[in-house]
Structure 1
Amino acid sequence: MRPRIIFCIAVSCAILVVILLALVSPVTHKKSRKPQTRPWLALSLYIQQPQTAITTDPRPTSFDSKGAFIFHHTLTEGPENTSRVVGRAQGFIIPVEHFAHSAFNIIYLTFDMPEYSGSLSIQANQVHDKGREELTVVGGTGVFAFARGLAIFSESDHQLSMIEAMYHVKLRLKLE
């Protein structure tokens, strides 16, 4: 009989301690804080031809025999070819009708700046070559990890020539 009474007192004390801790715990009395959301990030950059001394192929991009659009360009802060290089723009796009919605149609913007180091993946499955395209940012790495948003590509007013096409890229990103 005596062990049962001790057991009942121990269980009662344990229950009382749990109830008291729940009532006087500092965690339950803290004000609820909204999760910290990061603001939208807006960037304005230019995609230019890489500056090389000798050019064997004057075309700004290359097409393989099946029609794939492959490019490797320089990403700069401004429209001038002397602007600071901040990264690279690379892509592989298959504009053929039955591949128009292919997962391969991605543009990668790689940044190499102290404040922005990483890359962005931009889905390019609806490119119509109308001079202005609104594409979807589908992810990234580094500072841009899990980025979502919009990338607007437009032909720049600062074209150097018909051969050296330049694009203005406006990014509106939501970083997680």
Structure 2
Amino acid sequence: MYVQQPHTPASNTNPVALEDATAFIYHRLLTKGPDSTSKVVGKAQGFIIPVEQFEHSSFNVIYLTFDTAEHSGSLSVQAKEVEENDRDELRVVGGTGSFAFARGRAMFTQIDKKQSEVAVSYHVKFQLEFPNHSRKLP
């Protein structure tokens, strides 16, 4: 699946500076394919404080919510060590609905970078495990 940039400018697409701190607050769409016109399968929302002293902040979580015929629920992805790379591997620390109690990894790979540094889209791939070990999603 893919995290898409919004089509209209919004105040939450840029970092919000607060004196010595910066926070990234965002709301994005999750789509099945890489094109922004691809079928919407959910949302990506979060609040990240990428400042050294907030490294262990419980706010640094990306919430991915899904609403499709196959899956309904959410995944919580810990974003403690997000760097300015083209690829980040983050920990899945929980889930609800179809993803109840999920653990694993979420790989975010940058796929599109416009002239504005803000307009970046990501491909997201999951490797999930569930506590009862009877079911795994590829």
* TM-score, with length taken from structure 1: 0.67
Q: 1:18-67: per-residue Cα shift (whole Å, max 9, x none)?
A: xxxxxxxxxxxxxxxxxxxxxxxxxxx10001334xx355xx82222220
Q: Alignment partner for residue 95 of structure 2, among 121, 130, 140?
A: 140
Aligned to 2:74: 119
Aligned residues: 126
For 2:34 and 2:57, the matched residues in 1 are separated by 31
Q: CA deviation at 1:103?
A: 1.2
Match of residue 127 from structure 2: 172
Q: 2:17 aligns with which of 57, 65, 83?
A: 65
Q: Which residue of 2 aligns with 1:49?
A: 5
Normalized per residue, the structure richer in helix is 1
Amino acid at match of 1:61: T
The alignment yields a C-alpha RMSD, in angstroms, of 1.6
List gaps (5 residues or longer) in structure 2: 132-138
Q: 1:153 aligns with which of 108, 111, 118?
A: 108
Distance 1:113 1:101, change over 3 A: same
Q: Does the residue aligned with 2:17 lie in a helix, a strand or coil?
A: coil
Structure 2 matches for 1:94-133, cutoff 5 A?
94-133=49-88
Q: For 2:7 and 2:71, how far apart are their aligned partners in 1?
A: 23
Matched letter for residue 48 of structure 1: Q
Write out per-residue CA displacement over residues 79-137 of structure 1, whole angstroms, 9 at most, x where no aligned residue.
01111000000110001110022111000000010110000000000111111111000
SS where residue 53 of structure 2 aligns? helix
Percent identity between the two aligned chains = 56
Q: Which amino acid aligns with 2:76?
A: S
The 2-side partners of 1:135 and 1:118 are apart by: 19
Between the two structures, name the one with larger relative contact order (CA 8 Å, sep ≥ 6).
Answer: 1
Show structure 1 runs of 4+ deviating over 4 A.
none
Which amino acid in structure 2 is aligned with residue 118 of structure 1? G
Task: State the distance in 2 between where 1:173 and 1:162 align.
Answer: 34
Aligned to 1:162: 115
